């Protein structure tokens, strides 16, 4: 086994989820990521905790979703019961065919996502971590050779997370006490939102491995303006490009996309919260040096911001603030490397991808 796989497992079990003796741990991994599942079982056993492996097959899920009637899709309460008795949930993503669910109806996908919402809520109450295993199909999605992609993933994953945490703390210090954020990019994107009373989180690879962003939640009804998400995104095996959202009073009032607009429409109609922003994130991981069509990495890039429609993370929501609730959480990215600026309470904190605490910043 590649020693970098065991290193990734150790990072997950120690740094990300702090596995303790007696913990009930769920490892959810597709078969193509079996090596990492094996390394995780070894690491979990070494720490005296109890693992359980979930299968997580896109092919099996597709077969179920194409066979079932939408109105028969119910919450998998047996999975919910399992999560309720779990301390740690490790979810490994890895593609065998990134478009495996490309022929599942968007409406069925939305019904499935909505039915799983209670399970997702329980999952978020555990010490959870989402990570990536580099498979050939994941490399193909990134447009890279398998070996180059393996290097990319393990370089991004197996690194000095305390140094990364310190770098990001400088942006947390700016954003956490702030009231208003104003983001402009290119000719279209011009959006403002309040983050007053919200909490800014320093993601140094606890819930996401790789980590490398700071993120918060907008005040629910404060978002106004429009955003062109100029980086493509994959959702349920389909690519949405050129997503354009117009916000009024926090709600999406107009939307369009160059490709798979119907899927975007379905997501926005999942529930009321799906039409509001649940997250504003700022990518700060400069070791992620290219887009790979994988949100777990793309959203961490140093000269990007991302916004997610749907569910807000509880940890971002201040005590007296409303949390946006939804069955969905769909991240969408804006490339901030050119013709762009982030202002916080009227002060420029990033221009063309450079933070004001980095070399090369031009206020």
Q: Which residues, numbered 32-71, are part of the site for its own copies (CB under 8 A)? A: 34, 37-46, 48, 50-57, 59-61, 63-69
Question: Residue 142 burial by CB count (10 A; 0-12/13-18/19+): exposed, middle or buried?
Answer: buried
CA distances to 161, 190, 281, 333, 340 from 355, in Å:
20, 19, 14, 18, 12
Select 68 or 341, whichever has its Cβ closest to its own copies. 68
To which H or E segment does residue 175 belong? Answer: helix 161-175
Q: Which region, judged by CB under 8 A, interacts with its own copies, from 29-37, 192-200, 254-262, 326-334?
A: 29-37
Select 65 or 301, whichever has its Cβ closest to its own copies. 65
Chain-centre distance for alpha carbon 182: 22
Select 75 or 256, whichever has its Cβ closest to its own copies. 75
CA 298 to CA 66: how far, in whole Å?
30
Please give the size of the binding site for its own copies, defined by CB under 8 A. 52
Q: How far is the CB of 12 from its own copies (least distance, A)?
A: 14
Under the binding rule (CB under 8 A), the answer on residue 169 touching its own copies is no
Q: How many CA atoms lie within 13 A of 101 on its CB side?
A: 23
Among 7, 15, 76, 124, binds its own copies (CB under 8 A): 76
Among 79, 114, 137, 188, binds its own copies (CB under 8 A): 79
Q: How far is the CB of 302 from its own copies (least distance, A)?
A: 36
Q: Which region, judged by CB under 8 A, interacts with its own copies, from 31-39, 129-137, 138-146, 215-223?
A: 31-39
CA 70 to CA 82: how far, in whole Å?
24
44, 19 contact by CB (below 8 A): yes
Under the binding rule (CB under 8 A), the answer on residue 102 touching its own copies is no
Place of tokens 């109890």: 50
Which residues form the interface with its own copies (CB under 8 A)?
A: 21-22, 24, 26-27, 29, 31, 34, 37-46, 48, 50-57, 59-61, 63-69, 72-86
């Amino acid at each position: 086994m590649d020693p970098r796989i065991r290193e990734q497992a150790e990072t997950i079990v120690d740094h990300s989820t702090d596995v303790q003796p007696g913990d009930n741990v769920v490892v959810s991994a597709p078969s193509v990521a079996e090596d990492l599942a094996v390394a995780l079982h070894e690491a979990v056993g070494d720490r005296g905790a109890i693992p359980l492996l979930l299968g997580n097959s896109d092919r099996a899920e597709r077969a179920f979703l194409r066979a079932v009637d939408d109105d028969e899709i119910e919450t998998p309460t047996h999975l919910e019961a399992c999560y309720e008795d779990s301390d740690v949930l490790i979810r490994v993503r890895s593609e065998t065919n990134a478009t495996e669910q490309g022929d599942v109806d968007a409406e069925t996908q939305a019904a499935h996502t909505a039915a799983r919402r209670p399970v997702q809520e329980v999952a978020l109450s555990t010490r959870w971590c989402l990570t990536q295993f580099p498979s050939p199909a994941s490399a193909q999605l990134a447009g890279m050779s398998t070996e180059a992609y393996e290097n990319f993933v393990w370089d991004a994953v197996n690194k000095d997370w305390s140094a990364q945490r310190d770098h990001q703390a400088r942006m947390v210090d700016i954003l956490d006490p702030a009231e208003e954020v104003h983001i402009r990019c290119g000719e279209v994107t011009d959006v403002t939102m309040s983050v007053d009373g919200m909490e800014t989180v320093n993601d140094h690879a606890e819930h996401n491995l790789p980590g490398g962003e700071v993120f918060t939640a907008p005040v629910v009804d404060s978002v106004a303006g429009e955003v062109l998400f100029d980086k493509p995104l994959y959702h349920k095996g389909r690519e949405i490009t050129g997503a354009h959202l117009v916000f009024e009073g926090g709600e999406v009032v107009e939307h369009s996309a160059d490709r798979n607009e119907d899927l975007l429409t379905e997501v926005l109609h999942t529930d009321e919260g799906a039409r509001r922003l649940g997250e504003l994130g700022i990518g700060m991981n400069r070791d992620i040096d290219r887009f790979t069509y994988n949100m777990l990495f793309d959203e961490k890039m140093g000269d990007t911001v991302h916004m997610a429609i749907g569910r807000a993370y509880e940890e971002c929501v201040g005590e007296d603030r409303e949390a946006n609730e939804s069955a969905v959480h769909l991240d969408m990215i804006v490339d901030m490397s050119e013709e762009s600026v982030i202002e916080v309470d009227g002060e420029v904190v990033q221009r063309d991808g450079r933070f004001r605490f980095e070399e090369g910043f031009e206020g």
